[in-house]
Structure 1
Amino acid sequence: MATDQGVYLYAVTRAEGEGPDGLTGVAGAPVRRLVHAGLAAFLSTVSLEEFGEEALRRSMEDLAWLEETARTHHRVVEAIAGLRSTAPVRLVTVYTGEAQVRELLDERHEQFDAVLSRVTGRQEWGVKAYAVPVPAEPAAEPAAEPVDGPRGASPGAAYLNRRRAALRGREADWRRAAEHAQAVHEALMHVAVVGRRHRAQDPQLSGRREQMVLNGAYLVDEERAAEFTRVIEDIVGQGVAVELVGPWAPYSFATLDQEGEAAHGDAS
């Protein structure tokens, strides 16, 4: 392999069986399978001029490039996961060559094996919950008072009072929604094998005006998927809107951290 080329890694599976044929990866490169030590790594050749360390620092700030790369990465992983238990690798994981990938499979063989055992027969579901304001009861109109009298309030003070009341109402709505989101999470954990609460997304990312109060990922046995979705149907409402997304490859529970330890997720 030329020195100006590297390999982009998508996912790792066990070596049995064949991989999906005809997959196209990032930068239009074909995806191939490297079998080593009982594991299979799915990768494609990339130019280090685009995927080298310095180039990636610039490219990761290009939202259009990042979105296209993430979409392709996800499509490849989903195709692999549709055939067998899969440990997805983090976006833009690039090695200098196949020899370095073989070293990875040797050094982290036990961790990959543990991850693949954990996700076999299971899928990841995402649950997002948003605070929805509860309509307030209409308040009775107070008796009019002269604004220039000793007991009257100036227009400015009256406006501030209304603003304070509205803020208190929003805070109460948010607290109720957060409490209900916690109840949703706990109910889902009775069905899921493990769950993780990610950081709530900003409205600019979520695409919704409401405040996100739950951004959860759950690893669920395939035969309990219908039961999992029924939990959502039974507990929606009460000041919270719930979105269920998936199923997909277990990204939140199948990756390795920087030290090579399997990421289990937060089961709390």
Structure 2
Amino acid sequence: MTGSEETPSFRLAYVPGVTPAKWVRIWNERLPGIPLSLHQVTPAEASDLLRARGADAGLVRLPVDRTFFSAIPLYTEATVVVVPKDHVITAAEEVTVADLADEVLFHPLDDVLDWDAPPGEPAFERPATTEDAVELVAAGVGLVAVPQSLARLYHRRDLTYRPLTDAPRSTVALSWPEEATTDLVEDFIGIVRGRTVNSTRGRQTEQPSQGSQGARTQPKRSQKAAAAGRGAQGRAAAGGAKRAQSGKPAKRGKPRRRS
């Protein structure tokens, strides 16, 4: 290896709430010689990082620009509303958007839910991040609706959450620049789709030459039959040679009895 060659690696970006640990573990088991580095980014930063080739692929939230990115949806999260533990909403197992009509609901600038119109009473300001919005909920000045993974990520002892049954949902996807679909990207696609090591899908393998392929793909049964035929011909030829040497005529069958 020359000094100018670089060791191959795979750079994976991911947004808050996404847990890539399972896929990273499988990568390390299958490709131990190729390190995988993780880069946590905000939803707004993910697109710019992938466009600038700062990461090979990303675990992001839809939508993405499909004129530039390829994307494979992985799962869709339930939406919950984060509330103080002593809030009246905690008396219910789940709530609807209509139940929030009289509540102040924060709509952070990095909100990943695609609302037609945010429910509830408008807050006095839009927090910069979902984490900031959760802090305001803890202060008792409003509520916030988020994907369940973000409610768990920013969990506090004085807060809880309830499913919001009719709210928009957030879908997590594997995304990468379409023009940069490398072999390593194909390998990671196979992992997130649950393909086995021996799966024929995914990265394309080199095809053998036509001559060698024909030799390898000849059915075993045909090869055995051909070998058996050659053996029978050899034995028949050997028997004829022995009879010729001994001068004995070849045996004939019994003549048919005439009626």
Q: TM-score, normalised by structure 1?
A: 0.18
The structure carrying a bigger helix percent of its residues is: 1
Larger Rg: 2
